Structure 1
Amino acid sequence: MRVDGLRRVPAAVAMLAAAALLAGCGGGDEESTDGGSDAAAESSRKGTSEGKAGGGPLDAAGLESAAVAEADLPDYTFTVFKQGTVLGTKGKPADPAACQPIEDIRLRSPEPAPAAAAARSVHPKTDIQETEIALYAYAKAADAEELLTRVREAAKGCTGYEDDMGLNPTVTALADPDPGPGDEAVAYQRELSGTAHWCQVVRSGPHVAVFSWKSPVANKKAGEAPDEVITAQLKKLTEAAGTG
């Protein structure tokens, strides 16, 4: 499956990325913090009047401009994923198949496939707790709606599965979070080896934002959403897309 303007990560790179982030909600290659940060800040300074595909959904450049940067979260450190490596590849199918949408989100290989994508991870300068952000743009809002439906049904119907690395995370559906300026949202938890991986998937028109973070299950703040990051990103995305 190919996406216009983006190429899949080669299998060998994808496997290395998955191994490095196999416990997370997503995976992929990243730029160094310094280079990626400068690119993100420059993209942000260009504004949001450009970057729409034919006046519709944001294209790859538009998504980069709509992604949070240091100007939006000055107390955070950024790692920006290179264009062309944002989307991952599917490995061995999830077992049972009903859990595949959860695995697709983890691998940043959503179905339906997006027309454009952007991603970065951020963490407070005083903490190592990361939040990974993936942004997807679809040619039609109906495709973005289908993704949310697939993820919601999988979260509710999948209690556990074998992933492409042969690991067996459990899955728990969570109450739908407030989508803020978006249209709808779904949330769930993956748990593996005492670590909980939390995901919120938010749709705004033809655009989808995926937020993921993790914490030890025993942590008293386990599951606490990085609201500052989520709020800043959704506000910027909806304003850039003209839906906020």
Structure 2
Amino acid sequence: MKTIAVLLAALLLAAGCGNKSSTEKTATNEAEVTLMGESTTAGELPSFLKEGLSEKEQDELKKKIMPTLDDGLTPEQRFLNLRKKAEAGDAEAQNGLGSMYFSGEAVSHDAQGNPLSKDPEAAAGWFYRAAEQGHADAQFNLGLLYFTGEGVPQDKTKAVELFTKAAEQGNIDAQNNLGVIYLLGEGVEQNTNKAVEWFEKAAEQGNEEAIKNLEAVRASQKASQKPSGEQK
């Protein structure tokens, strides 16, 4: 069981399966397709685990799945321990440290010494170190930064490469992202069949976003196959 959970809010992209203009991407039959944009960090439950739970119930769940949070260490001590492991080459620690820099849990300063609310450049550096070791979550996180252009120059082609590496290792958010990317043709040639393939892989693992995306794609395909006189 992972001891780190999601950090970033999801990016929502509306997409149709048919033609789209260069300035606007609209949803076919009002179907919305979701691109997950979440990197990982310690101390927070994923949004899908929070649903329907009170704060007390969330705290109890944290104790069950995040036992390292009960280690008695201060945030500063935990950060120093994590950095020590990261500097020694531990990919899991490198990914966690990158997440702390991205979220602002690790305090950084600019050239003038002013504190930064978050440090995506430092985050990208740590994600890169872990990604180079084949760490799937770090590959996903670094891919997200390349997709959005945070901490690194925006490069959607590079993002696709990283998402693919993570997805091939079973990272379900990367699989869902690739589905959306192929559906929209962002950084790749638009390919609905590949989009469906990646959505199916994530959906088979129970990813709710991928399941909804599959439903949206199939609804659009079904509607496009109807004779024009039958469409409402």
Tell whether the structures are fold-level matches, with TM greater than 0.5.
Answer: no
More helix by share: 2
More strand by share: 1
Q: Which has the larger radius of gyration?
A: 2
- Normalised to the residue count of structure 1, the TM-score between the two structures is 0.27
